[in-house]
Structure 1
């Protein structure tokens, strides 16, 4: 970009980022633009729990998406705003159309939009469950579906496709999190969707990966305020959302060629490749077990298995 900080890893790519008005999405949009990408900044302008936001309008002047677009343009980059609800078919389709109308194509999709409604299971209303699963899981599926349809059509028309999708999961999706049953279930679903999409879309030149970030955003600021002190002046801010964006930019660029169907944790200066479910100890008697025999076998297998990763917020067993 014009401020002299531009790189080139994403130069010429068209990138759509959902939920990009604040937090991680904003950081991703700015980072892609700094690396030369043309960015579609999606944001619906809602609050932490999905309630109406500033009243400025999702994609309108003064709204969060428009402010990020202005930031990018002020630094010499190219960006447009999109205010559609990506958890609807119309909103997701219009996100792809916005990229095509503004820049002529779409190369990278970063699914990031979401909000929280934290409740213990016995206090979790059905409407809360539906709202969180809708924005996180359906809000990943629909943009992915419409972008994938575009890329498949491009590939079938004989045009080269080097598309990238970066989905946003969470440590809650990997390990579970007390008080976040709906969020954990949705984010675990994102991981399953990522694996399937990577397997299905590879033949068309599409790579699909997921990140599980830990950063200070509107969704997490209360947690981090309780557990972490703010860094001193000049010190590295390990919880800044900008720490996650370099990995997302790499995954969304040509430089990540050959990487697909993988999940990464990203926090501060740490990047971890997550290895997921793998078969552990097993027993096969070649015939049906009795309940007592099955229990005895299971107990022996558990004794030989690694203990499960602890659920976030769970108290240790007495």
Structure 2
């Protein structure tokens, strides 16, 4: 997920039983392990990861016998591989494709969205509350369903100006669809989950997920302004100038549904200085930077986190310079 590449092992090949409950792995002695093992031992077969993909409700049924936290994360990563496949199919079915129909990809997107919603419902019924990192990864996966990470990275300058121009029209098409607003909503919820993480724990892929969320905000703002220049001859965005303030990192209230469905409202993040509107990408990037760096003292910030924060700062600076 971090590198946006195919996994080495397909999710369909994982037929081993799901990992046993955490207490077994953390047993202090052989005697304690044996006691816990006999307590959890039954004749019923523990499902595999492939079984879980077929029926996610088994996560709830077997929660007393498996490591639910690890299993939930593995399940999310499996769904992210499916989302990668969806975007690749979508790429070849757009434009003048003679063999693939967009209806198929749209149907696949709906199926994946329903699967993620089902995962959320199952997690809400677990005896142990989902940890913030599971919520964060779930929101990142949901966000990736509604945006092409590869195209947005290219648009943000991952390769060169020529590649950025190549995906420009695709980005303009994305910004006029509800997918762009669903993506930034889930990006906002990623930020919300990140704020609930324990100090010092927002590292590794979790930090990368926060960076991907910031890329969604930046792209939404920059592409919206470009679209308005194309339509109105001015970056003064109608997409940012009507309706109430919609906090993407807040509760899912009625105004959120109006924003996602109709594009009504001023999308923003919460910050100590008041709303950080997506119309001001430099300020939004600063808010996310502060979140990453504020998780730990300066002298202990890991190089990866420092690099991601610097990338956000550079994107924010470019947006400010581009005006």
**TM-score normalised by the chain length of structure 1:** 0.32
Of Structure 1 and Structure 2, the greater helix share is in: 2
